[in-house]
Chain A
Amino acid sequence: MSEQEYYVPHGTYWPIIGSIGVSTLFVGFANQMHGAEWGGSVMALGFAIMVFMMFGWFGQVVNESTNGIYNKQVDRSFRWGMSWFIFSEVMFFAAFFGALFYARQLSVPWLGGADNNLFTPDLWNAFSASWHQMAFISPGTELQSGTVMSFPAVPATGIETATPAMVVDPWGLPALNTALLLASGVTLTFAHHALRAGHRDQIVGWLVATIALGVAFLGFQIMEYGHAYHDGLKLTSGIYGSTFYMLTGFHGFHVTVGVIMLTVILYRVQKGHFNADNHFGFEGVAWYWHFVDVVWLGLFVFVYWL
């Protein structure tokens, strides 16, 4: 096949199967939300169809690649496809980081009476703006964590202010998780180097380490959620709870997807699908993992520190 000619793979049925799968998934999900008994099972069916489609379609593409059917034009189209996917991911996280900055720097201070515009101090005169959840708790109230609140009422306003407990301590699990994810970026770079140098046995070791670090990150993140949820930080805990769980939750989902992708790459490395000069599958997944790592670094810095 010439370099210019575009290989049209096969009369494919996978897109329609994917469409049926995703439609079934969302019909099930929407009805589950409305309390339909059959919602959950339809959702599971849709998910199963999606998994079937992914295995089938991606497997077919991998087979075509290893059979040497693809030329440089197809390689280019894969690279551009990946770059557009990455663009959508960057926009996705930019929106959530934007929401975090907007709420923290602008809308919450406005509600508290900052700036001389629509939101005058009289609009919500009992509201004192502060980032994180506002809690007005009477003295003597027993908290879920077992502590009993004791603090004086503020005489000037008569509003009792809470002395809340620290839920998310940046020195604890968040710092540990950052270290784990950064270490996974380092091990993945070693795997990448080993692949480029043609040391297959080393690639496997470093990839396994990367996957293990990713799984450890997810485990600690679940612990962190349990801890925060138990102490009263929920998705419904005002704008802070919403943005916190949206950002960290979607990030966790991306780490999960990344772990699955790395596992597939590990399998493909063992099958000998890649060589030092031709390993786009590895490159795409490696870049994705680095991106997810950088998103977490941004979260660690902006949510927990700055």
Chain B
Amino acid sequence: MTQVVIVLIIIAILVALGFGLIGMVKGGKEGSDKMFKSLVTRVSLSVFLFLLVLFAGYMGWIKPNAVMIDAPVTQAPTVQTPVQK
């Protein structure tokens, strides 16, 4: 559920950014106003999303993609087949 909300907010951010682009291409007073308002929306949504992700992570609603890696000093992939007795 939290993941769906996060993805929806990202889509909303992209839409706001897209409206900002339309305003920029349009130009003039009207376009400039539209661009500025859209970018304010996108910044506000982004800050909200960041806080939501951190809060959801803190509450355990989402789990981080922690990168679990460590490399041996000497690389030796060992695949041991059990000996049939």
* A binding-site residues for B, Cβ under 8 Å: 75-76, 79-80, 82-83, 86, 126, 131-133, 135-138, 141-145, 147, 149, 153, 158-160, 162, 164-171, 175, 178-179, 182, 185-186, 189, 192-193, 196, 228, 231-233, 237, 240, 244, 277, 280, 283-284, 286-287, 290-291, 293-294, 297-298, 300-301, 303-306
Q: When the two chains form their complex, are residues B79 and A231 in contact, meaning their CB atoms are under 8 A apart?
A: no
CB–CB B73/A171 < 8 A: no
Indicate if the CB atoms of A167 and B39 lie closer than 8 Å.
Answer: no
Interface size class of B (residues with CB under 8 A): 35 or more
Complex contact B76–A138 (CB within 8 A): yes
* Known contacts A179-B50, A290-B39, A298-B10: A166-B21 contact under CB 8 Å: no
Residues of B near any A CB (own CB < 8 A): 3, 6-7, 10, 13-14, 17, 20-21, 24-27, 29, 32, 35-36, 39-40, 42-43, 46-47, 49-50, 53-54, 57, 62, 64-74, 76-82
Task: Contacts A137-B72, A277-B29, A284-B24 given; indicate if A303 touches B65 (C-beta within 8 A).
Answer: yes
Select A297's contact among B13, B21, B24, B27, beta carbons within 8 Å. Answer: B13
- Choose among B14, B24, B68, B76 the residue that contacts A166 (Cβ–Cβ < 8 A): B68
Bound: A169/B69 CA distance, A = 11
Q: How far is the CA of A159 from the CA of B64 in the complex (A)?
A: 27
CB of A203 to closest CB in B, whole Å? 14
B36 close to A294 (CB less than 8 A) = no
Which B residues are in CB contact (< 8 Å) with A76?
Answer: 27
Tell me the bound Cα distance from A178 to B57 in angstroms. 15
Q: Is the CB of B21 within 8 A of A294?
A: no
Task: Tell me whether A283 and B32 are in contact in the complex, defined as CB-CB below 8 angstroms, given that A178-B50, A305-B53 are known contacts.
Answer: yes
The residue of chain B having its C-beta at the shortest distance from the C-beta of A291 within the complex is: B17
Give the residues in chain B near A294, CB-CB below 8 Å.
Answer: 13-14, 17, 42, 46
CB distance from B52 to the nearest CB of A (A): 10
Decide if B71 touches A170 in the complex (CB within 8 Å).
no
**Shortest CB–CB separation between residue A286 and chain B, in angstroms?**
7
* A143 with B73: CB separation less than 8 A: yes
B19 to chain A, nearest CB (A): 11
How far is the CB of A163 from the nearest CB of chain B, in Å?
8
Contacting residues, chain A, for B42 (C-beta < 8 A): 185, 290, 294
**How far apart are the CA atoms of A218 and B64 in the complex, in Å?**
23
Contacts A/B (CB < 8 Å), 5 sampled: A143-B70, A164-B70, A182-B50, A287-B35, A305-B64
Cα–Cα distance between A138 and B82 once the two chains are bound (Å) = 15
Closest 3 interchain pairs by CB? A232-B71, A168-B67, A164-B68
